[in-house]
Chain A
């Protein structure tokens, strides 16, 4: 393998994508929403590298893409460059005709705010909902998906104290509420909730007893202090924080030659 795919050349976002891909098991059904570049690459990498039986759903376009050399990123819901490979397309509204088996799906969720218990906010920032300081895009389908899917990953394009807040001004997707490990069951939410939060600095999981964000992996070159300084609440830091595994040369080759041909994660 040439130096071109030297693991040390991986960008932060490529590291995030490879980490997420390693989380995804063959045979799983992966649901990807809009504007999630790292997730777009992660699911392609997973399918191309170890997931020949995965099903990928981009907005409504459902497919197995294992046989493709590459697959572009859709820029809107019915993007022919992606939909041309779909085996089915679930239209807006019709997507919710059958949600009873969504425990089989894995999802990725973003947020303009995220709290220590993995509750996320896409509604906006401010005290008064009628006069928000920042109007966000809205809940999209995340309130329902986060309720039902088997597990999901909180995935952020930046890691700052503006995003990681002690308490979200509004919650559009319920993670672990106030941190009660039983919170989801008590509310009657069938889905498994957020598993990890993945950012350009680190990977965080949730403590067992209080479902509080806990540092799991630091990306290479990132320090605990850097994470602390950029997180607006106290992150649990265990003794055994390890480094996020680097992509292998083979993973990097698949990312750069097939999953992310345009280099969206290297900019």
Chain B
């Protein structure tokens, strides 16, 4: 499912995605941010679809036949029916949760998290810290997800990306983009294989992963 694959990495188009899509190795469900949001809403509400206007006149309904044009029975307008999107599992990162699955995002509702959680069959939330149930009861209005299926304590679990409290590790994402670009566009798979081995396959634990990033680099992500 793709409405945008790029900028977060620091490149115009994420290189490995680009290569896989161009070679037909993955199937792309072409959409758009408003359309994704609408599909997740329909999923959360148990509806077969919800209407959306953004994308009328574009190629989106042609390249994604799941998006269907229909006539609105109220005003007779042509709109796009966006089918329900129901993820089997949503995996999120938030600030804190208690052991009962009460999750509290800090500083806003947390990206697309609530849309994903509401639509998904199951949700796993990794959090910076586990807090006691008393702390949740002290501020119940701050609970953003009341029924996560699992919570896992994973400090720095957003790395290399950003969360409310931590900045993106731009050194790391830049290194990745360079390695992935070499592999995808210049037929030099070595640096990407090294990167994946060092940061994805070799670390036995999350702590091992963080050791490889290094405390000096991690601390720079707390700059504000």
Contacts and interface: CB of A to CB of B under 8 A. Distances in A.
A140 B3 contact: yes
A80 B163 CA distance: 10
Interface in B61-102: 63, 77-79
A130 B8 contact: no
B5 A137 contact: yes
Nearest to A176: B57
A137 B63 contact: no
A147 B79 CA distance: 12
Contacts of B37: 92-93, 96
Nearest to A142: B32
A151 B105 CA distance: 35
Given A80-B167, A137-B5, A171 B58 contact: yes
B4 A140 contact: yes
B54 A145 contact: yes
A93 B112 contact: yes
Contact of A133 (B22, B56, B167): B22
B59 A123 contact: yes
A138 B78 contact: no
Interface string B1-30: 011111110101100011001111001101
Given A140-B33, A173-B58, A188 B108 contact: no
Contact of B115 (A93, A99, A137): A93
A184 to B, nearest CB: 8
Interface in A122-173: 123-124, 129-148, 170-173
Looking at B52, B54, B56, the one whose CB has the most chain A CB atoms below 10 A away is: B54
A210 B4 CA distance: 32
A23 interface: no
Nearest to B36: A93
Interface string A4-43: 0000000000000000000000000000001100000000
B58 A89 contact: no
Nearest to A88: B108
A35 B58 contact: no
A79 B109 CA distance: 17
Contact of A143 (B12, B27, B34): B34
Interface in B185-224: 223-224
A143 B63 contact: no
B40 interface: yes
A19 to B, nearest CB: 24
A148 B4 CA distance: 19
B223 A80 contact: yes
A92 B7 CA distance: 14
A141 B58 contact: no
Contact of A144 (B34, B59, B111, B115): B34
A189 B115 CA distance: 26
A94 B59 contact: no
Given A35-B7, A139-B32, A189 B224 contact: no
In this complex, the member of B10, B79, B111, B224 whose beta carbon has the largest number of chain A beta carbons within 10 angstroms is B111
B32 to A, nearest CB: 4
A226 interface: no
A138 B4 contact: yes
Interface of B: 2-8, 10, 12-13, 17-18, 21-24, 27-28, 30-38, 40, 52-60, 63, 77-79, 108-112, 114-115, 162-164, 167-168, 170, 223-224
Given A78-B162, A132-B22, 13 more contacts: A79-B168, A121-B59, A129-B28, A135-B22, A137-B5, A140-B3, A141-B4, A141-B34, A144-B33, A171-B57, A187-B56, A189-B56, A189-B57
28 contacts: A76-B162, A79-B167, A79-B168, A80-B224, A91-B111, A92-B111, A93-B112, A96-B34, A96-B38, A99-B34, A123-B30, A123-B63, A132-B21, A135-B13, A135-B21, A137-B12, A137-B13, A138-B32, A139-B33, A140-B3, A141-B4, A141-B33, A142-B32, A143-B32, A145-B54, A171-B59, A173-B58, A187-B56
Interface of A: 34-35, 75-80, 84, 89, 91-96, 99, 121, 123-124, 129-148, 170-174, 177, 183-184, 187-190
The 7 closest A-B pairs by CB, nearest first: A144-B54, A174-B57, A144-B34, A139-B32, A137-B6, A143-B55, A141-B33
